[in-house]
Structure 1
Amino acid sequence: MPAPATDIQSLSGDLLLLVFHELSVADVLCVRRVCRNFAATTRAKVLWMNLLSAVGSSEENVLPTCMKAPNLLDATALEALVVRVLRLARRWRNNDLFPVQVWRLNLCQSITWLRLVAGSWLFVASSDNYVSKITCWDMTLLFQNHMEPIAEAYLPGQVKTAQLEVQDSGIVIALGLGPSSPSVHIITLVQHLGTHHFAQLYRLEGSSHVLILQGDFIGCAVRCNTLIPHIINWKTQTTYDLPSPSGVDEPHFRNTPHSLILWNEFIVVVRHDTLHFYSQPTSAGPPVYTKFVKTIEIWELVVLDSRPSEPLRLLVISSIGVGIITIESDVLFNDDAYTHISVATTPKQWPWYRLTANGSGKRALWVSAEHAMRNTGKVEHPQLVYAAVFSRAPESETPLIQWMNDFPEDPALWAFPTIDFDEALGYTVVGNCFGELAIYDPIESDPSLCCRLTPDFSVHHQSLPQLLPVTPITLDFNLAPRRPMGQTISDRSLTSHWTQDDLALNPRFWCRDMLCDMYWDWDMWQGNLGDTAWLLSHAFGFPLLPIPQAHAYDDEADMPYVLVRSGERHLLLTHYRNPIQSFPLPLPRPLHSRLAERHQYLRPTAYTEILVQRSMFAADHRTSCRNRWREQQERGGRPHKNLLDTQTITQKYCIDI
């Protein structure tokens, strides 16, 4: 006789869990909806821990890299995480990441850096010439339309570069401030008396241009107004220089590198088309130069997470397109340890920029100006492009997922965007130079599952560090005169540090008066977004504040030469479309461009950003009658005038600024 049927409701809780472990996530949720008696079992933490492990074992799913201890989450958070990861994977399979939910904020200052942390925190640095601040939003509150930040603090300088890492002690951020008083501030987010605050862990004067934050080490490119890559153990306050192999001034080492990486026993300095390997410092001595590896030209770079003894993986934009550079662990002994895999081929020269990835780097994002740069007579906005990234060559061409944030209330993607993308949870955040900020979510969230998906990293268990000020700090930021429209400048005190070098220039060709009528770009040396100093830093790798010395007019080129000092070199510029030239100190006499060293673009995508911003600002006003610069000013901000193409905008479209 057949065995009698077993009533499943009579099974013990442990046996029910074993049954549910064999079900898919969709089936578990279906059981909960149709049978009230099983609802409690379907919410058991151990069940969702096992389902999370099963979801993470699939190659198409991506879990947050900060999930080192998922057992710290409760059952509701584990369920919300599993459901979101699966829904996002389904959107990727359908090649559709168009947002279904958007949260928008408008700030007063230009956004220069932002970072998402585990779908829970959003950090934003914003500044103008008068004030600079760092702000944090709790995204679980933001998604419930509580738009106020949970922490805000003011800084003594503009945030030019920044790096963030989630460490065992909490969230650590290294801010490279400048340009008037270069320094590095290491800060964290803490809780004190029931509220969140920014606190300072360490301050390093003189160093700037932060390239990496990894554990106890910070990597910087500038110290004491000199371009010299170095790493600092900020806990022991020990600094190690990474000089050129010969120890002398070599052309290949005159620009800032793309990145510094601590990998296995190496410090890797990533430059334009080479990787340079140094040994890590030990008690026996400082870093020692070991080897270099030739690569393709690297224009933009994201360092992907790698465990010890695993290959080093770099996501790059190059002249070819987007690709993965892989360096094997035996690089010291194997000349074939370098490989390059193409992810996507660029359709034309320089249309892709702002490469973004985080975590494991299985999914990437960048901006495409392919359509915006076509001379079709039609206004085409830049687009966001998403792509899956593989460690091996894909069997077929990687599909690119594109969408355009061209709603009137969205941040202008052409306005020097700052972007972050959470590959595991799907959130994309876009900020820009007009203080416009938006968070995009391609997943329609279940309100019952709206909770924090990671532990609270802001809890500080040790003695409370020094809290950052919550009242504005007025910046001493007078590096170049502001242009009074249609007038000549009368106050020359702001240029008192210009033209002070003893250069013995021929007065027949060179003029030392930088404010005369023959030279009109005297307000473009602040280092603000899109000005000449910004271009020197982002396109050519000279982040030191340039100090103008003289100008000369070239009748053949129909444009002025400008001579500026940047650190220990003098740079000769003609037009931002052209390569620059440089001279060592002291200058050769007589000065002639044939004696200069030519510098090509290290990051030509910076030139793309300027072209797109200048053309789209005018098109935005022409098609929608908007002036985002004026809108930011009406919010209480004081935006930089160089963000306008003043000659085109003020004359052709009669915009009063």
Structure 2
Amino acid sequence: MPIFDLDNDLLFEICSNLAIADILSLRQTCSFLRDTTKAKSIWVQKLRNLSNAYPANRSPTELSSHDVECMARRIFKLAFKIGRGEMGNLGFSGVLLPHSITWLRLVDARWLFVAFSDESASKLALWDLRWMSEGHPGPIADASLPGRVQTGQVEAQDDGVVIALALDTMEPCLLIINLQPTHDQDDNEYAFHQLARIEGSAHILMLCGQFVGCAILHERNVLHLISWRDGRILELPSPPGDLETPERRSVPHLMAICKETLVVIRFKGIEIYRVSGTSVIFSRCVPTPIIHEVVVRPFATGNGVLRLLLFTPAGLETLELDDCLLGSPETASGRTNLICSIPPDTHVSAGPSLFPWFRLVCGAAGDQCLWVETVEASEPGHDGVSNNPAYIVILRLDRPELSDATPIRLPLQGDLAFSALPRLDFDDTFGVVVMGNCFGEMAMYDLDAGSDTCFHLARDITWRPAAELPRLAPTSTNLPIPPIIGPRRGMSPSEAATATVTWSRDDLNLNNCWSTAWEEDYHYRGKPDRWHGVPCDLAWRLTHVYSIPGTVIPQAFFSPEYDNDDRPGWQPVIFRVGTNYFYKDEHNEFWLWSPHGSGGAGEKLPRPRLTALTEHNAYRRALQRDHLTRNRWLEMIGRGGDVDWDRLLRRNY
């Protein structure tokens, strides 16, 4: 039968069963079938046949035939490239900022929210990647913040995007922010507005609807939910054993809500709670392997199963928390599935470490993940320093037979430092990767520059509230001088006294081997510890490796007069974070310290996020690699940044 005699339904069925490349070839060679190959129903069917289907926020039935075809062609091509491991033809757009990037999030593969700060300023900005990819480097919205951003979350809700930021201010607080179109003659088309300000809470773990989950309340480790719409706070009850167990003294990795179940993921185990109206009820604990990092793996179908990706000592593992595991007290433990193991005899280019990966990120569709890897790719250079101390790898997760898969290295362009405390996000539907680091280097990578990026399919994420909300000022304002500065080399005793005015104020009962004379003792001022929280100092390690965030307030240091040992490090120090006291030994390890009883060091603190130690070492190696040819901190100063050289460069950790 001639093809001209076939009815349309049969023609649609034939085209629906062809490969995308064959459909396009048929369109070019047969004018009779040209309109048929453009039919929306064919491309909708192609999308449904793809494993990751389509973005949950945009149904193909709402789009034009052209948009559905563009989406299907891009998704298919990306899946084909990643499946074969042929990651060529990548697009790159970069921006150099004058401040360190501390947080970023990508929404709908187009809207990039970035927080960046230095010693004197802190800002939040929004980039439209569609404009950025066309050579426009400036943000479309920006605002000055009253403190540096420590943690944050973003969620695209029915009203528009909601941004929750935890700020390092004189008194910790949260800012809940939205994005609104402007109606004046400002340079920017959009502006940030404040939905709520919540005092006393810190360290955001979750944003889900009206609830923000935090780990710290008024400087105490108290897990709690905050309804940002009305300011209501729900404290989570303590599990058996209270919070005075080694695995609970640190803040958790993550908090997530699945239906009416609240899940808290710690480095040893999962705690399950029931959220009912105005109360939170503890249910039970689920043992797990040691978890170094964890992210939620989204479900496009929204079937209520909570899927997790974990970095464990074995490698990358998955864990599914279904109704049975979440609701049945008889279920003993969460069974994990290893999908990517750490290669045996791995050499970590970042230096001594137990783990070669860090910064795990899962794509918005849950079909791919990526992370930074420090495994040596080639022989070290003549000075023993790798030419590539860190790079980004990607792994497909949508294969049912996936077991011990091999990640693919992304050949990313640009001379950006992936080892400089990077912040990453990823849209796996449209293949967009974004990265920012502590040197103010920011980039967008298009994993298939040869196809339509589909930026126009992103949602409108702006709010249009009935009542006027306070607008965040776009102009920069100087941050308040931090109350704790600490002594520096070359300070006189009077300068050191001013720099430590808030130290040693807790009136601890200490014996004579401890000194509080920071301003008088040259031994401490000659090699002072760094407690400011700048990249990879001791306060940074305490926050990121030991998961104990907060301001460090030193109380005393071990006097050299009583030190008869040949110690390899600096003086031991007693310090406080929030309401808890700790002890740093001469090896720069941390211990619990009790001001009561004998006042001696207690148990050694575990390191919940061992991957942060890898990140720390990778940063040091990056500085070592660059020191003969460039100084990225100096480059950031040249762009208008404010860098404290004494804290950043004169350190020997």
Partner of 1:180: 170
**Which secondary structure state, in structure 2, belongs to the residue aligned with residue 458 of structure 1?**
coil
Q: Note if 1:384 corresponds to 2:395.
A: no
Cα RMSD, aligned residues only: 2.9
Which segment drifts farther, 163-172 or 309-318?
309-318
Amino acid aligned to 2:615 = E
Q: Note if 1:282 corresponds to 2:287.
A: no
Given the superposition, is the C-alpha separation of residues 484 and 91 from structure 1 closer, same or farther in structure 2, using an over 3 Å criterion?
Answer: same
Given the superposition, is the C-alpha separation of residues 66 and 523 from structure 1 closer, same or farther in structure 2, using an over 3 Å criterion?
Answer: farther
Amino acid aligned to 1:401 = I
Matches within 5 A, 1:505-524: 505-513=510-518, 516-520=521-525, 522=528, 524=530
Paired with 1:562 and 1:55, the residues of 2 have a C-alpha distance of 60
Partner of 1:581: 591
- The correspondence for 1:84, drawn from 74, 77, 83, is 74
**Which secondary structure state, in structure 2, belongs to the residue aligned with residue 315 of structure 1?**
strand
Answer whether contact 1:66 1:166 (CA < 8 A) is retained.
no
Which segment drifts farther, 297-306 or 449-458?
449-458
Given the superposition, is the C-alpha separation of residues 320 and 19 from structure 1 closer, same or farther in structure 2, using an over 3 Å criterion?
Answer: closer
Partner of 1:613: 619
Given the superposition, is the C-alpha separation of residues 589 and 99 from structure 1 closer, same or farther in structure 2, using an over 3 Å criterion?
Answer: farther
Given the superposition, is the C-alpha separation of residues 75 and 516 from structure 1 closer, same or farther in structure 2, using an over 3 Å criterion?
Answer: farther
Q: Note if 1:402 corresponds to 2:398.
A: no
**Which secondary structure state, in structure 1, belongs to the residue aligned with residue 567 of structure 2?**
coil
The alpha-carbon deviation at position 116 of structure 1 amounts to 1.4
Paired with 1:468 and 1:299, the residues of 2 have a C-alpha distance of 36
Answer whether contact 1:328 1:337 (CA < 8 A) is retained.
no
**Which secondary structure state, in structure 1, belongs to the residue aligned with residue 604 of structure 2?**
strand
Q: Note if 1:189 corresponds to 2:184.
A: no
Partner of 1:63: 54
Answer whether contact 2:110 2:458 (CA < 8 A) is retained.
yes
Partner of 2:532: 526
Paired with 1:300 and 1:191, the residues of 2 have a C-alpha distance of 37
Given the superposition, is the C-alpha separation of residues 42 and 145 from structure 1 closer, same or farther in structure 2, using an over 3 Å criterion?
Answer: farther
User: C-alpha offsets along residues 124-148 of structure 1, whole Å, 9 cap, x if unaligned?
Assistant: 1111121111111111222222222
User: C-alpha offsets along residues 65-117 of structure 1, whole Å, 9 cap, x if unaligned?
Assistant: 333x3333333332221111011011112113345211011001100111111
User: C-alpha offsets along residues 409-450 of structure 1, whole Å, 9 cap, x if unaligned?
Assistant: 422011111111211111111110000011112212346x76
Q: Note if 1:455 corresponds to 2:459.
A: yes
- The correspondence for 1:262, drawn from 257, 271, 282, is 257
Paired with 1:6 and 1:374, the residues of 2 have a C-alpha distance of 61
Answer whether contact 1:179 1:527 (CA < 8 A) is retained.
no
User: C-alpha offsets along residues 309-350 of structure 1, whole Å, 9 cap, x if unaligned?
Assistant: 643221111111111122231223332462111121123422
- The correspondence for 1:207, drawn from 184, 191, 201, is 201
Answer whether contact 1:80 1:453 (CA < 8 A) is retained.
no
Paired with 2:67 and 2:463, the residues of 1 have a C-alpha distance of 18
Paired with 1:149 and 1:296, the residues of 2 have a C-alpha distance of 42
For structure 1, list consecutive stretches of 5 or more residues without a partner in the other structure. Answer: 650-657
Given the superposition, is the C-alpha separation of residues 458 and 33 from structure 1 closer, same or farther in structure 2, using an over 3 Å criterion?
Answer: farther
- The correspondence for 1:345, drawn from 341, 344, 364, is 341
Amino acid aligned to 2:183 = L
Paired with 1:532 and 1:21, the residues of 2 have a C-alpha distance of 60
Paired with 1:374 and 1:519, the residues of 2 have a C-alpha distance of 40
The alpha-carbon deviation at position 529 of structure 1 amounts to 2.6
Partner of 1:479: 483
Paired with 1:225 and 1:367, the residues of 2 have a C-alpha distance of 32
Q: Note if 1:272 corresponds to 2:267.
A: yes
Paired with 1:17 and 1:155, the residues of 2 have a C-alpha distance of 55
Given the superposition, is the C-alpha separation of residues 262 and 33 from structure 1 closer, same or farther in structure 2, using an over 3 Å criterion?
Answer: same
Partner of 2:371: 366
Given the superposition, is the C-alpha separation of residues 489 and 581 from structure 1 closer, same or farther in structure 2, using an over 3 Å criterion?
Answer: same
Q: Note if 1:302 corresponds to 2:310.
A: no
**Which secondary structure state, in structure 2, belongs to the residue aligned with residue 26 of structure 1?**
helix
Amino acid aligned to 1:282 = G
Which segment drifts farther, 413-422 or 625-634?
413-422
Partner of 2:576: 565
Which segment drifts farther, 295-304 or 488-497?
488-497
Amino acid aligned to 1:568 = T
Given the superposition, is the C-alpha separation of residues 462 and 87 from structure 1 closer, same or farther in structure 2, using an over 3 Å criterion?
Answer: farther
Q: Note if 1:315 corresponds to 2:309.
A: yes
Paired with 2:206 and 2:156, the residues of 1 have a C-alpha distance of 13
Instruction: Report the identity percentage.
Output: 31
The alpha-carbon deviation at position 475 of structure 1 amounts to 0.8
Normalising by structure 1, report the TM-score. 0.88
Answer whether contact 2:593 2:599 (CA < 8 A) is retained.
no
Amino acid aligned to 2:599 = L
The alpha-carbon deviation at position 639 of structure 1 amounts to 2.9
Paired with 2:33 and 2:486, the residues of 1 have a C-alpha distance of 69
Amino acid aligned to 1:65 = A
Paired with 1:523 and 1:476, the residues of 2 have a C-alpha distance of 22
For structure 2, list consecutive stretches of 5 or more residues without a partner in the other structure. Answer: 347-353
- The correspondence for 2:219, drawn from 225, 229, 239, is 225
- The correspondence for 2:508, drawn from 490, 503, 520, is 503
Paired with 1:464 and 1:34, the residues of 2 have a C-alpha distance of 58
Given the superposition, is the C-alpha separation of residues 318 and 577 from structure 1 closer, same or farther in structure 2, using an over 3 Å criterion?
Answer: farther
